[in-house]
């Protein structure tokens, strides 16, 4: 009997220049990390790259294309098409532009951010996941990240709440390394 090993993907968004050391614990052993924008500082991505390869898109805080990261990406992992973009929802509704993009791309999974609200739901045959914000706590929303576990074309999304108080390093725009 052949056993297949599950692939885990770390999902993160809206770090806003903050790297929470708890991320390392939760993302240990992931195949890759997907950052859905509002990175805030390239040093955050460098810290994530020390854990696993990173696929990132820009967000409004990153000034989109000025950051060097694309606005959206589509890649394949374990035979599944995964789409990533920062803004999918505005004011509680999916934008028409985002809806048209999803209809055109028809991904199996779409990872997004922007709202800071953790969410797992379906749009037709596409699993949507917003891990919430891993950055500084804002409003009454919880801080969080996510994990996707892929096993024989089955996907198990998991939202992970991070503590409100962060023992972390806030990275300034000009930081080149973290000690």
What is the predicted pLDDT for the residue at 168? 47
Residue 91, pLDDT above cutoff 80: yes
Residue 176 lies in a domain: no
Our count of domains for the chain comes to 1
Q: What is the mean pLDDT of residues 55-82?
A: 94
Classify residue 142 by burial, with Cβ atoms within 10 Å: 0-12, 13-18, 19+. Answer: middle
Please list, in sequence order, all residues whose beta carbon lies within 8 angstroms of the beta carbon of residue 15, skipping any fewer than 6 positions away: 35, 38, 39, 40, 44, 133, 134, 135
Q: Residue 165 — very low, low, confident or very high, per pLDDT cuts 50/70/90?
A: confident
List 42's β-bridge partners, or say none.
Answer: none
Boundaries of domain holding 151? 8-165
Q: What is the CATH number of the domain that holds 12?
A: 3.60.21.10
Residue 171 lies in a domain: no
Classify residue 160 by burial, with Cβ atoms within 10 Å: 0-12, 13-18, 19+. Answer: buried
What is the predicted pLDDT for the residue at 179? 26
Residue 177 lies in a domain: no
What pLDDT, in 10s, does the model give residues 5-56? 899 999 999 999 999 999 999 999 999 999 999 999 999 999 999 999 999 9
C-beta separation of 116 from 132 below 8 A: yes
Residue 170, pLDDT above cutoff 80: no
Residue 90 lies in a domain: yes
Q: What is the mean pLDDT of residues 50-66?
A: 94
Residue 65 lies in a domain: yes
Q: What is the mean pLDDT of residues 94-119?
A: 97
Residue 1 lies in a domain: no
Residue 175 lies in a domain: no
What is the predicted pLDDT for the residue at 3? 45
Residue 73 lies in a domain: yes
What pLDDT, in 10s, does the model give residues 114-157? 999 999 999 999 999 999 999 999 888 999 999 999 998 699 99
């Amino acid at each position: 009997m052949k056993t297949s090993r599950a692939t885990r993907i770390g999902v993160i968004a809206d770090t806003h220049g903050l790297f929470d050391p708890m991320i390392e614990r939760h993302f240990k052993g992931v195949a890759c990390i997907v950052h859905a924008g509002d990175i805030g500082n390239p040093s955050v991505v460098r810290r994530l790259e020390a854990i696993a390869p990173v696929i990132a898109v820009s967000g409004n805080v990153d000034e989109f294309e000025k950051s060097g990261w694309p606005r959206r990406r589509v890649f394949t992992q374990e035979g599944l098409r995964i789409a990533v973009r920062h803004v999918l929802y505005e004011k509680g509704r999916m934008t028409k532009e985002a809806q048209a993009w999803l209809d055109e791309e028809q991904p199996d999974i779409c990872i997004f951010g922007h709202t800071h609200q953790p969410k797992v739901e379906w749009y037709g045959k596409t699993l949507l996941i917003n891990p919430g914000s891993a950055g500084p706590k804002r409003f009454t929303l919880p801080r969080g990240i996510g994990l996707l576990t892929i096993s024989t074309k089955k996907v198990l999304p998991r939202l992970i709440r991070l503590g409100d108080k962060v023992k972390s390093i806030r990275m300034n725009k000009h930081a080149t390394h973290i000690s």
